[in-house]
Amino acid sequence: MAANLAPVSTFEKPAAQDAASLRQVFASLTAESCPRSYNFHMHTHCSDGQLQPELLAQQTIDLSLKGFAITDHHQIAGFYAAQRWLEAWQQSTQKAVPHLWTGTEITSRLLDTEVHILGFAFNPEHEAIAPYLQGKAPLAEAAIASNVIAAIHQAGGLAVLAHPARYRRTPDDLIPAATNSGIDGVEAFYSYNNPKPWRPSPRETQHVQQLGAKYNLFNTCGTDTHGLSLVQRL
């Protein structure tokens, strides 16, 4: 008699932790993608921003964003609040919502320089990333860029060097070092002088893109919003 075998269930990651789909999005980004199609660098009042997460989520609907991530410093509370709001809005309207991935911004050390590393699509409950989501910048060994990147990877996420042209060391120094530390991408499309309307800084974007291509890194985009509008930094 043939055995009656039950179907094998296949584990699916939550949409917020879908790094594979995020890689595909990153591969498609251009200078025109942000801020009205995608935005992967935004802050709420859960860290040093002014927006409530729920109002940020409302703006993503108003802008008809396709996808985004909240990157509050060293914590994930804003993500959860926005996720709850989007789920409630979707249930009440029966309309699609932007794809929301997990995100955070972690202060790190690279070439004896303070840099910021963005983490995306990670499992926030993973033991490797948990110490970096306690609301405070890491210290000592925990702050070394290679350790931060390794923790993001162990939690299933992708690591990106934020605004590579804003640091004491140049992108020519930092991007190769970040690559050696395991970085996945660079924030190529970034505005360094906060113009209105927002647009990526052409010279810095070209330079970072060239270095990213040299080291086989993907490009990301974000407004680094700290104010009340997702289409401006401040």
Q: What is the pLDDT of residues 59-68, one digit of tens each?
A: 999 999 999 9
Domains of the chain, by residue range, sit at 15-221
- Dihedral sign, Cα of residue 203, residue 177, residue 20, residue 89: negative
Using the predicted structure, report yes or no on whether residue 163 has a pLDDT greater than 50.
Answer: yes
CA distances from 77 to 80, 136, 159 (A): 5, 13, 19
Q: What 8-state DSSP symbol labels residue 64?
A: T
Q: Are strands 67-69 and 38-39 parallel, antiparallel or unpaired?
A: parallel
Question: From residue 206, how far is each of 18, 188, 203 by CA, in Å?
Answer: 29, 8, 5
Is the pTM for the entire model greater than 0.85?
yes
Q: In the block, which residue shows the tokens 């070209």?
A: 206
Return d(Cα 51, Cα 57) in angstroms, integer: 10
Task: Give the residue from 1, 66, 81, 3 showing the smallest Cα distance to 36.
Answer: 66
The answer to whether 210 touches 170, Cβ cutoff 8 Å, is no
Q: How far apart are CA 96 and CA 87, in angstroms?
A: 10
Q: Which strands form 218-221's sheet, in the order they lie side by side?
A: 103-110, 113-120, 158-161, 185-189, 218-221
pLDDT of 11 reads 54
pLDDT digits (tens, 9 = 90+) for 53-108: 999 999 999 999 999 999 999 999 999 999 999 999 999 999 999 999 999 999 99
- The answer to whether the beta carbons of residues 36 and 231 sit under 8 Å apart is yes
Gap between the Cα atoms of 56 and 80, Å rounded: 12
Q: Please identify, in words, the CATH class of the domain defined by 15-221.
A: alpha beta
